[in-house]
Amino acid sequence: MQNLVMHGLMGFAGDCDLMSGNVDLTLDAALRATNARPAESSGGSQETKRVDPLQWAAQLLLLLNRPEDAADYFDRCLKQLPRSARTDMQARSCLISGLQSLCRNQLRTAWSCLQRTTGEKHASLHVQVAACGAMAALFFRLGMRRPAQAAADRALALLDTDSLANETPRAVLAVMRVEFVVLDLLRRHPRLDDLAFWPRNEEVAGQRVGLPQAFELLTECRTLIGARPLLQARLDFLATLLRIAYQGSAISEVAGNHIRQAIGQGMASYAADARQELALAFIAAEQGDNLRRLLNASSAAATAPSRGGDQNFEHDYCLAKLGELSGRADAYITHYRTYATQALIQVRRTCAYVEVPSSIRQSSNDIPKDEIASRLPARYRRAYQFILANLHRADLSIKHVADNLGVTDRALQMAFRAHLGMSPSAVIRQCRMDRIHSDLAAGDATRGTTTLDVAQRWGVRSRSALAHSYRGAFGELPSQTAAVLNA
């Protein structure tokens, strides 16, 4: 997934992008650009024109699995930034650390860095789009599909604010959004219902997309992205996965050629991830012989699994299913036990540190209000009802909710994050902002009643806390909402 993000970041620097379809040639052009003198006639500051080629080259080196060389170029990139651009320097530094951690599969560090970057309002458009795209990839890897979709949408919205932005990032984000749908549809195949790590009751974009709609999205995306061979090849590969998994197609050679071409261009990490996706398609189609050949080829190439310890478990799942298809119960039990254990560890780690940043959350629409109770287990629905009944209390806290339910604070936190992708505090804040917005929309902030008076009905006593939370939820101040809705 992060490979597409890298492609998208390339499009901000220079005229070379994915048009050539050859990463090695593009890298050569990027390396030459790092030593070239910026053209005086082109737009943008001289500092930016010196920095962008360096970052472009570093990202390509990451894509080609050369992290040490990439680190050198990232260091040069930071040294070239003007001292006056302190905010952008900090944002770029966080972005660089996040990208490096994502490629190394250090997910906790990647999340922390990218969260800080997406929350930096004064960062450049390049940095904000790159951070949101990388965050989308990270969320999807963790099985958090709604936040992933929201992050990709946020990146596209940022691009829409600049009419001169390079079109390559837009094309990459379009492919990424289709990829979310296709890979979700693949992992929700009935024969993969024991893929325990992947949540099966959450929808990507408000409604489940079936096979015909997925093919329509692929066709539309092909037209949208134009002549960009690497992206077109990715779309063809995604279509092949669906045909194998859902139609029992025997066109595995097409997918195999795609993987070999990726290896030939130096994208070993991407090739390993593509093998993993193809293995899931073979399992869904019950093509045991193709699955065996693919896993044997992966072992021979010494690229499987490509990811670090956090994500090895999906490879164990494939080995377990191979044992099942081959009638080897002992192999199935051994590998599936390893897979299930590692998946549970990953879920616990994710619940412990991941919360959707407000800068990419789609205000209160991220989780529709009528879905919160239905998505919580029966026991924790009582906690949600307690929250709704006590929003007016300024002292309402997680401890109050946990004590009412008879659980620990940590158990409450983990349950809400696991089932909603939000902490209890975030749910309280969101519900309060929704109530305040509704009251303002009803004209309650008129005739001597201030916005703070309205907020105090729902437990918000601080004007600064009101302004910060309300702006994070709706993108404007409460006074602006009142002025517009009651004009």
2-348 matches 363-485 in fold: no
Least confident of 15-29, 158-172, 327-341, 428-442: 15-29
Q: What CATH superfamily classification does 363-485 receive? A: Homeodomain-like (1.10.10.60)
Q: Is 283 a residue whose pLDDT tops 90?
A: yes
Averaged pLDDT for residues 394-405: 90
Least confident of 297-311, 317-331, 340-354, 404-418: 297-311
Reduce the DSSP state of residue 81 to 3 states and report it.
Answer: coil
Averaged pLDDT for residues 452-470: 87
Amino acid identity of residue 483, one-letter, is: A
Tens of pLDDT along 173-210?
A: 888 889 988 998 898 898 998 887 777 655 444 445 78
Residue 237 has what pLDDT?
A: 92
Residue 14 has what pLDDT?
A: 40
Domain ranges of the chain: 2-348, 363-485
Estimate to the nearest angstrom the gap between the alpha carbon of 441 and the chain centroid. 33
How far, in Å, are 42, 90, 246, 252, 258 from residue 181 at the CA level?
Answer: 39, 34, 14, 21, 20
Banded pLDDT at 245 (limits 50, 70, 90): very high
Residue 49 has what pLDDT?
A: 55
Distance separating alpha carbons of residues 417 and 305, to the nearest angstrom: 28
Tens of pLDDT along 341-384?
A: 888 877 777 766 676 666 665 433 444 445 677 777 777 888 88
Q: Is 412 a residue whose pLDDT tops 60?
A: yes
pTM greater than the 0.75 cutoff: no
Tens of pLDDT along 51-107?
A: 667 766 776 776 666 766 777 777 777 677 665 555 566 677 777 777 777 776 777
Banded pLDDT at 280 (limits 50, 70, 90): very high
Joined together, the tokens standing for residue 345 give: 């560890």
Position with higher pLDDT, 68 vs 234: 234
Residue 366 has what pLDDT?
A: 45
Residue 65 has what pLDDT?
A: 64
Kind plus residue range of the DSSP H or E element containing 108: helix 107-118
Least confident of 130-139, 182-191, 414-423: 414-423
Question: Is domain 2-348 in CATH 1.10.3470, yes or no?
Answer: no
In the chain, % of residues over pLDDT 90: 9
How far, in Å, are 36, 53, 124, 256, 444 from residue 29 at the CA level?
Answer: 10, 10, 24, 29, 60
